Amino acid sequence: MRILLTNDDGINAEGLAVLERIAAQLSDDVWVCAPEYEQSGASRALTLAEPIRVRKLGERKFATTGTPTDCVMLGVRELMEGGPPDLVLSGVNRGANLAEDVTMSGTVAGAIEAMALGVPGVALSQMGSYDPSDNYFEAAEAFAPGIVKRLVEVGWPADVIMNVNFPALPVDKVGEVEVTRQGFRDVQVRIAEKRTDLRGRDYYWIGFRPERSKPEEGTDLRALYEGRISVTPLHIDLSHMATVYAMKGALGGPPPRL
């Protein structure tokens, strides 16, 4: 099995080193193409207005000035010698990618670009605290190899990716694996903090407030909050079919004029 690795935290991120160790347990044909700098929140952005520079760090390891989507496209189509990968792993992200935030995640976008290119994609993320003394990626490193291996054995549809999130717990405290659906937070955790620079001009930091919602059972949020590993099949068809059917009678047919 040929595996391509990417992430959105950057080529020097600890989570990417963890992912390399995870992949090494699954294959000896592992390639890396990751952003030169952190691209968190980049979603499926493509770099179109400027060239992408590629830096070769090893026989099978590259850093680019592009986004996670750029990295997967270049890795699959240009940089991997001998043919495309059989699997793309994106992560391990520092912080969970859950609920509505999956639409903004560069980690999830890496797996989606793999899917768009006809390659199975898995996004892996590790929930954790902000305490630098924590063994942040302990759960992901322990359980990801077995979960990815099992996912590959089972397989999944070509228009679907797998979004895997690990709880912020020591290995011996992690619960079972739960296949979940995408949740939705009932509280707003994104914030914009206003500050002033030394020249008196205002600027903003956008980030997240560590506040938990009260999610429904069966969701990715609920699984993580209760100490389970969440595996969520995702796809990019955003059509809301109930509204499609409801609108057909009201708007279908010749275009209305005022």
Tell me what pLDDT residue 131 has: 63
Mean pLDDT confidence for 79-89:
97
Percent of the chain with pLDDT over 70: 97
139 falls within a domain: yes
101 known ligand binder: no
Question: Phi/psi zone of residue 194: left (φ > 0), alpha (ψ -120 to 50 degrees), beta?
Answer: beta
Reported as half-sphere exposure (CB side, CA atoms, 13 A), residue 116 has a value of: 14
Tell me what pLDDT residue 99 has: 94
Tell me what pLDDT residue 133 has: 61
> Which residue is it, tokens 């199975």?
120
**Measured distance CA(230)–CA(211) in Å, rounded:** 19
Contacts of 127 (CB under 8 A, 6+ apart): 95, 96, 165, 166, 167, 168, 224
192 falls within a domain: no
Tell me what pLDDT residue 182 has: 97
210 falls within a domain: no
Confidence of residue 186 (pLDDT cuts 50, 70, 90): confident
The answer, yes or no, to whether residue 97 has pLDDT greater than 90, is: yes
CB 36 within 8 A of CB 6: no
Residues pairing with 23 in the sheet: none
Whether the predicted model's global pTM rises above the 0.75 cut: yes
CA distances 98 to 54, 181, 213, 231, Å, are 31, 10, 12, 10
70 known ligand binder: no
Prior bond to 92 cis, omega within 30?
Answer: yes
125 known ligand binder: no
Helix (H) or strand (E) holding 163: strand 161-166
Q: Burial, 204: exposed, middle or buried (Cβ in 10 Å; 0-12, 13-18, 19+)?
A: exposed
Tell me how far apart the 2 most distant CA atoms of the chain are, in Å. Answer: 66
237 known ligand binder: no
Question: Taking Cα atoms as reference points, which of 98, 153, 100, 90 lies closest to residue 122?
Answer: 90
CB 124 within 8 A of CB 93: yes
45 falls within a domain: yes
The answer, yes or no, to whether residue 233 has pLDDT greater than 70, is: yes
**Measured distance CA(63)–CA(153) in Å, rounded:** 30
145 falls within a domain: yes
Tell me what pLDDT residue 189 has: 67
Helices 14-24 and 138-154, packing angle to 10 deg? 50
Listed in sequence order, the DSSP H helices in 25-105 are 68-74
107 falls within a domain: yes
Percent of the chain with pLDDT over 90: 86
The answer, yes or no, to whether residue 187 has pLDDT greater than 80, is: no
The answer, yes or no, to whether residue 177 has pLDDT greater than 70, is: yes
248 or 131: which leads in pLDDT: 248
Confidence of residue 211 (pLDDT cuts 50, 70, 90): confident
| Exposure letters 215-233 (e unless 16+ CB within 10 A, then b) | beeebbbbbbbeebbbbbe
E-assigned strand segments in 44-112: 54-58, 61-64, 87-94
105 falls within a domain: yes
Our count of domains for the chain comes to: 1
Domain extent at residue 224:
2-184+216-251
Confidence of residue 135 (pLDDT cuts 50, 70, 90): confident
The dihedral of CA 171, 190, 219, 113: what is its sign?
negative
CATH of the domain at 25: 3.40.1210.10
41 falls within a domain: yes
Contacts of 69 (CB under 8 A, 6+ apart): 42, 44, 45, 46, 106, 109, 110, 112, 113
